[in-house]
Amino acid sequence: MSTVPERPVVGVLALQGDVREHLAALRAQGAAPVTVRRPEELAAVDGLVLPGGESTTIVRLATRFGLLEPLRAAVRDGLPVYGSCAGMILLADRVLDAPPDQETIGGLDVTVRRNAFGRQVDSFESELDMAGLGGGPVRAVFIRAPWVEKAGAGVEVLARVVGGPADGRIVAVRQGCLVATSFHPELTGDRRVHALFVEIVRGHLAEQAGAGAGDERG
């Protein structure tokens, strides 16, 4: 009989970025976090986090490690993935203000603008109401962050900036098992975004287990 593991294995792409912080946040939410640098490590996870960093550098390193195409295949096959900041860019199907050779993993039907909030010196924090999260606003840290310029019909907008020159800009989205935020929840100690993602992973595993049980009965 197919069963759902008590501690889902959630990988963090460990090529660049806040890897350690994401690992700690996932562990606190009951997942079994692991680092992912090779295709065989990717094949062993139930979900994946794409951390912040520099998106073109991450793509270049993923290509060097033979991971880019396996990552694209995993997303197409339904692997739950959460991308923060650069991870949002990596999941986007379309990117604005990008180098002409910018590649992404894709899968998320959004148009993302790189460095939309400005340079490193323009980094800031803000309070956001995020759909699906109880407990009040999320303290969001934006560092050379993107925003979603346009979301497809199948994309759920989870959070927008309120106030200031970026008022109304989309900074958190979900499409099926894919979640992306412009901000860095791993830096604040607020684990609710990671909790949401771990629940998405568990839900996906439960669906797979149910399908497997149905196949066995058939």
pLDDT, tens digit (0-9, with 9 covering 90-100), for 48-62: 999 999 999 999 999
pLDDT, tens digit (0-9, with 9 covering 90-100), for 145-177: 999 999 999 999 999 998 888 889 999 999 999
Mean pLDDT of the residues in the chain: 92
pLDDT of residue 26 exceeding 90: yes
Q: For the chain, what is the HEC assignment?
A: CCCCCCCCEEEEECCCCCHHHHHHHHHHCCCEEEEECCHHHHCCCCEEEECCCCHHHHHHHHHHCCCHHHHHHHHHCCCCEEEECHHHHHHEEEEECCCCCCCCCCCEEEEEECCCCCCHHHCEEEEECCCCCCCCCEEEEECCCCEEEEECCCCEEEEECCCCCCCCCEEEEEECCEEEECCCHHHCCCCHHHHHHHHHHHHHHHHHHHHHHHHHHC
pLDDT, tens digit (0-9, with 9 covering 90-100), for 106-122: 999 999 999 898 765 45
Mean pLDDT of 17-26: 94
pLDDT of residue 31 exceeding 50: yes
Q: What is the pLDDT of residue 138?
A: 93
Marked catalytic residue, from 22, 177, 186, 194: 186
Confidence band, pLDDT 50/70/90 cuts, at residue 209: confident
Confidence band, pLDDT 50/70/90 cuts, at residue 1: very low
pLDDT of residue 213 exceeding 80: no
Active site residue 177: no
CATH number of 9-217: 3.40.50.880
pLDDT, tens digit (0-9, with 9 covering 90-100), for 171-198: 999 999 999 999 999 999 899 999 999 9
Mean pLDDT of 82-89: 96
pLDDT of residue 37 exceeding 90: yes
pTM above 0.85, yes or no: yes
Marked catalytic residue, from 21, 22, 85, 177: 85
Q: What is the pLDDT of residue 217?
A: 54
Marked catalytic residue, from 22, 184, 194, 204: 184
Q: What is the pLDDT of residue 8?
A: 96
